Structure 1
Amino acid sequence: MGWVLQSGCLFSAVFVVFIQGYHGVNSEPTQDKQALLAFFSQIPHKSRLLWNQSDSACDWVGVQCDPTNSSVYYLRLPGAGLVGDIPADTLGRLTQLRVLSLRSNGLTGSIPPDFSKLEHLRSIYLQNNQFSGEFPESVTTLSRLTRLDLSSNNFTGPIPIAVNNLTQLTGIFLENNGFNGTLPSINPPGLVNFNVSNNRLNGSIPRALSKFPSSAFAGNIDLCGGPLRPCNPFFSPPSPAPSAPPHKKSKKLSTAAIIGISIGAALGLLLVLVVLLCICLGRRQRQRDSTKVQKPPPPPAAAAAAGEADTSSSKDDIAGGSAEVERNKLVFLNAGAYSFDLEDLLRASAEVLGKGSVGTSYKAVLEEGSIVVVKRLKDVVATKNEFEQQMEVLGKIKHENVLAITAFYYSRDEKLLVFDYMPAGSLSALLHGSRGSGHTPLDWDNRMRIALSTARCLAYLHVSGKVVHGNIKSSNILLRLENRDACVSDFGLNQFFSSSTPPNHRVMGYRAPEVLETHKVTFKSDVYSFGVLLLELLTGKSPNQASLGEEGIDLPRWVQSVVREEWTAEVFDIELMRYQNVEEEMVQLLQIGMACVASVPDQRPAMHEVVRMIEDMKRGSTDDGMQHSSDDHLKGSDSQTPPRESRSSPREITP
């Protein structure tokens, strides 16, 4: 029996080693990596495409492999600044590729013939480039293709009937090119999205395609039939003149009849000339309109989803890349792991996170699985140039306690900011959320950590960034999931809005007295708002009047009134009373908060002084976990402070 057990254990060990060795062999798609490196080295690109040869290709931006990391399944490089022709014998070697997205680049030339080797391709997105030549023959052999987007390029020549070889096709987008000739009868059984608008096609629309809307054929002035105008001639051929009976002699017309006939003929000729002139002018106007027509905006997400047959593997790219869209594209301030653009955001599933004083925030789940937060700004009065200049300034701010702006979008009707998603939520939700039986109290050590990390962030913004935050409140203090450090958002946005607009009622409690009068924020008004935030941390009360139970009183005045009556202990959040040996620190932090909310701006300390005061409080503690040099908060940093445990366990509360 012992021999059997030993043999079984040995077999198990060998099996584990075998499995590990198997996965080790398949942990890197060596051949695909060489193909990608060949592509990378032969085509010009912007620096945001960072592929480190020492890393696995499966970890590169835009690359996704199969579960065993043995083959590249998805290559998505939209808007990556790729320029020039696609080199031969590079991408054509990715024989297991499922999705290829190179849209919104500067690619030129024709599609390489070796694309015919990509037999497993299901989706191709090449729109918004400068490809030329005839319809790529290599694509017509990819029988598993479900979605083909060649729109907004410079393709010419006829659309081949061989497109019908793509029997799995659900969507084909060929608009905004130079395709000419007649339109073949394209009729794969599952085709639900079709667009050939703004080309040079002529003739009648095949019956199989007449089910699509007229917008799918617009801009082809010589197309007719189906949803467009009928293919009838403008004038019917003239009927033959009746011959006179042979046995009757012609009679001489009277002078009056001759005059009447002449006048009638002249009026008829004039009418024909007017009709012909109107027709010519109308056609010329249509030709001018067709040359000026802009590329259509992307269809709504619902329409895109309807055309996707393989939702699990396709990025479902949609056309839409006019000069206007190019000018108003999503601009990234911090090149990172993201590889998405505005079209991806428009198709993402969205959830409202909250409505603030500057706009509404949405949680957006992209199709590739990434989660970001999109803030839709409202009432922006800044011009596009002013907006972009401020974004450039804010994009340079790097600090461990700053929630950096990832990207922005500006158009006449929409102004969007994109941030990383912080799953731990905001300080406001943690402090003022439900305090029922399942509620986890925010202990004193974490409140101190939040106070100090927020102070360091504001000091950095003031001293190194020369930026006024202007909108400090607990809902803008987001928390890191791993250590509850603060991550401050919505900084530097005030100049986008009219100074004459009254403050939102949700932020009234944080506004310094002088801001309520002038509507202008300063470094000192930031200090005041931070002081209110400290009082909020200490009292557990929201700084609006409703939470204080008294009309016409704000949080600083309420705290002053309680302390004046020597009821200092009544100020503090009841949840803090559960922790031992923290009363002295709470009183010290209360004094710092009261100094920050002084009515006269000059009497308030600067933010770097506030940081020093809070650090002085902590230096006596042996279990600090947040010790920094007193000047560390003024330097940008990518490091993170390690978490620490609560200093003392809660007292048992007698029911």
Structure 2
Amino acid sequence: MKLSRVLPLGFFLVATLHSLAVADLNSDRQALLSFAATVPHYRFLNWNPASSICDSWVGVTCNLDGSRVVALRLPGVGLMGPIPPNSLGKLDALRVLSLRSNVLIGNLPTDVTSLPSLHSLYLQHNNLTGNIPTSFSAQLNVLDLSFNNFTGNIPQTLSNLSQLTSLNLQNNTLNGPIPDLNRLTHLNLSYNHLNGSIPSYLRSFPDSSFAGNPLFANPQPSPSPASSSPPAAGPHKKRSKLKLSKGIIIAIAVGGFALLFIFALIVLCCCLKKKDNGGGSSVLKGGEKPKEEFGSGVQEPEKNKLVFFEGCSYNFDLEDLLRASAEVLGKGSYGTAYKAVLEESTTVVVKRLKEVVVGKREFEQQMEIVGRVGQHPNVVPLRAYYYSKDEKLLVYDYISAGSLNVMLHGMYLDHNL
């Protein structure tokens, strides 16, 4: 009798929780559709109301159980106009929002900045105006509003955000003093109209973090009693001062030559080591940009012309690709393959073709053929490509399982034992 009462109650609870999860996801769906319908965009998002929001909507990421939207990444998709209130502000489970490199204008709605779960907010390279909101999520860790047209003061409320570690407000029109932001590990306030003094904790950041703010008052050290007193007279004092100056000059010269010699020795050792290793390391140093490796031939007028194939869910442009940290995966007869990790943890493989002399039209035709071949389930699909006269790049999915050789002769056999 007790079991018969418990089972229906358990089923009722499960059904109730499931219906709540579905309701939350439907609410997220409606918020996103409202945003897409209100904000014009020139890149097709493929947000079909009848399809799965978690599996097929471009730029949308859900949590593990598929009950809520936790990330929205739409960089460089041509979003134009203001961010409408009561749209994205309803995604109360959202942790990451990236709308950078678009043409967004107007004020930044407070219901977006104060989303309770928001962890990272990337809105750089837009045309947003007005004051920076004073209300932010207590969970906010990264805030990037650089290269916009924000005015007014930096909100004092930012100093209350205990989780905030990265703040980038460069290239705006902000004025007034800098709040005491004493938990940051990354800061850039350059090229604004800020004034006053730099808080003591922030003076550990490089000068580039404050460049382009001509009204900053740099604190000067107080004069010592010795410097305020008149210089002593007499030939003996002058001779001592002259001897001291000569000694300092000689010490500086000797030290400079020593440093120059050490630097030359280090460069020589690095060159010899590089030569012994066959011309370079297989892994780029941490933080080194692949632009130096596979972007040297990118021409300025053709930037951001990374061509994506239909159905590709990646949301980055050529500039993002060239800024990414890279690792050499291998070198072949047609070029070098790199593992590139982009800003928001997206990982792809970039193949830099070498000594491929072909016209743009013929190259694009060949890419279309390769793209159709990649639709086969056993072939890694080509996701995007870039063409210029001096540089040709192919972008593929990164497969973490290892190389084809390992799959055929190692892991694949072990997996079937």
Query: For this structure pair, what is the TM-score category when the shorter chain's length is used for normalisation?
Result: 0.5 to 0.7
Q: Which of 303, 306, 315 is the aligned partner of 1:331?
A: 306
The corresponding residue for 1:45 is: 41
The corresponding residue for 1:212 is: 205
Deviation at 1:351, TM superposition (A): 5.1
Deviation at 1:16, TM superposition (A): 6.1
Cα distance in 2 for partners of 1:151, 1:325 equals 22
What pairs up with 1:435-450 in 2 under 5 angstroms? 440=413
Cα distance in 2 for partners of 1:378, 1:423 equals 25
Q: Which of 124, 129, 133 is the aligned partner of 2:126?
A: 129
What pairs up with 1:55-74 in 2 under 5 angstroms? 55-59=51-55, 60-74=57-71
Cα distance in 2 for partners of 1:410, 1:191 equals 40
Give deviations 1:55-106, integer Å, cap 9, x for gaps: 2433322222334444322221111211111112211222232221111111
> What secondary structure does 1:406 align onto?
strand
Give deviations 1:387-430, integer Å, cap 9, x for gaps: 5x555434433244576532235789975321134578777667
Deviation at 1:328, TM superposition (A): 2.1
> What secondary structure does 2:208 align onto?
helix
1:156 maps to 2:128: no
The corresponding residue for 2:249 is: none
> What secondary structure does 1:26 align onto?
helix
Bigger Rg, structure 1 or 2: 1
Residues 303, 24 of structure 1: CA spacing in aligned structure 2 closer, same or farther, 3 A cutoff? farther
Whether the aligned pair in 1 keeps the contact of 2:306 and 2:318 (CA below 8 Å) is no
Q: Which letter does structure 2 place at the counterpart of 1:133?
A: G
Gaps of 5+ in 2: 223-284, 290-298
Cα distance in 2 for partners of 1:331, 1:93 equals 32
What pairs up with 1:483-498 in 2 under 5 angstroms? none
> What secondary structure does 1:58 align onto?
helix
Residues 370, 15 of structure 1: CA spacing in aligned structure 2 closer, same or farther, 3 A cutoff? farther
Q: Which letter does structure 2 place at the counterpart of 1:112?
A: P
1:197 maps to 2:190: yes
Residues 166, 359 of structure 1: CA spacing in aligned structure 2 closer, same or farther, 3 A cutoff? same
1:183 maps to 2:177: yes
Give deviations 1:325-368, integer Å, cap 9, x for gaps: 89523613214222344576568675543211232113446676
Q: Which letter does structure 1 place at the counterpart of 2:303?
A: N
Q: Which of 343, 349, 362 is the aligned partner of 2:338?
A: 362
The corresponding residue for 1:95 is: 92
Whether the aligned pair in 2 keeps the contact of 1:124 and 1:149 (CA below 8 Å) is yes
1:108 maps to 2:108: no
What pairs up with 1:216-615 in 2 under 5 angstroms? 216-225=209-218, 302=287, 328-329=303-304, 331-335=306-310, 336-341=312-317, 345=321, 352-364=328-340, 371-378=347-354, 389=361, 392-397=364-369, 398-399=372-373, 400=375, 404-409=381-386, 416-421=393-398, 440=413
> What secondary structure does 1:46 align onto?
coil
The corresponding residue for 2:259 is: none
> What secondary structure does 1:210 align onto?
helix
Give deviations 1:294-336, integer Å, cap 9, x for gaps: xxxxxx97599xxxxxxxxxxxxxxxxxxx9895236132142
Give deviations 1:430-480, integer Å, cap 9, x for gaps: 78x68xxx9859xxxxxxxxxxxxxxxxxxxxxxxxxxxxxxxxxxxxxxx
Cα distance in 1 for partners of 2:65, 2:208 equals 44
Deviation at 1:131, TM superposition (A): 0.9
The corresponding residue for 1:76 is: 73
The corresponding residue for 1:32 is: 28
Cα distance in 2 for partners of 1:148, 1:303 equals 23
Whether the aligned pair in 1 keeps the contact of 2:178 and 2:196 (CA below 8 Å) is no
Q: Which letter does structure 1 place at the counterpart of 2:383?
A: T
Cα distance in 2 for partners of 1:440, 1:330 equals 42
Give deviations 1:609-640, integer Å, cap 9, x for gaps: xxxxxxxxxxxxxxxxxxxxxxxxxxxxxxxx
Cα distance in 2 for partners of 1:363, 1:57 equals 28
Cα distance in 2 for partners of 1:359, 1:159 equals 48
How does the TM-score come out when normalised to structure 1?
A: 0.44
Cα distance in 1 for partners of 2:334, 2:154 equals 49
Whether the aligned pair in 2 keeps the contact of 1:36 and 1:91 (CA below 8 Å) is yes
Cα distance in 2 for partners of 1:89, 1:44 equals 17
Deviation at 1:170, TM superposition (A): 0.4
Q: Which letter does structure 2 place at the counterpart of 1:185?
A: P
Give deviations 1:119-149, integer Å, cap 9, x for gaps: 3222111001111222x224x4433211110
Residues 16, 78 of structure 1: CA spacing in aligned structure 2 closer, same or farther, 3 A cutoff? same
Residues 155, 301 of structure 1: CA spacing in aligned structure 2 closer, same or farther, 3 A cutoff? farther
Residues 208, 394 of structure 1: CA spacing in aligned structure 2 closer, same or farther, 3 A cutoff? same
Q: Which letter does structure 1 place at the counterpart of 2:180?
A: I
Residues 221, 378 of structure 1: CA spacing in aligned structure 2 closer, same or farther, 3 A cutoff? farther
Whether the aligned pair in 2 keeps the contact of 1:23 and 1:68 (CA below 8 Å) is no
The corresponding residue for 1:173 is: 168
Whether the aligned pair in 2 keeps the contact of 1:97 and 1:121 (CA below 8 Å) is yes
Cα distance in 1 for partners of 2:389, 2:218 equals 37
Residues 50, 423 of structure 1: CA spacing in aligned structure 2 closer, same or farther, 3 A cutoff? same
The structure with the largest strand share of the pair is 2
Whether the aligned pair in 2 keeps the contact of 1:301 and 1:347 (CA below 8 Å) is no
Whether the aligned pair in 2 keeps the contact of 1:123 and 1:146 (CA below 8 Å) is yes
Deviation at 1:39, TM superposition (A): 0.7
Deviation at 1:217, TM superposition (A): 1.4
Deviation at 1:40, TM superposition (A): 0.9
Deviation at 1:116, TM superposition (A): 5.3
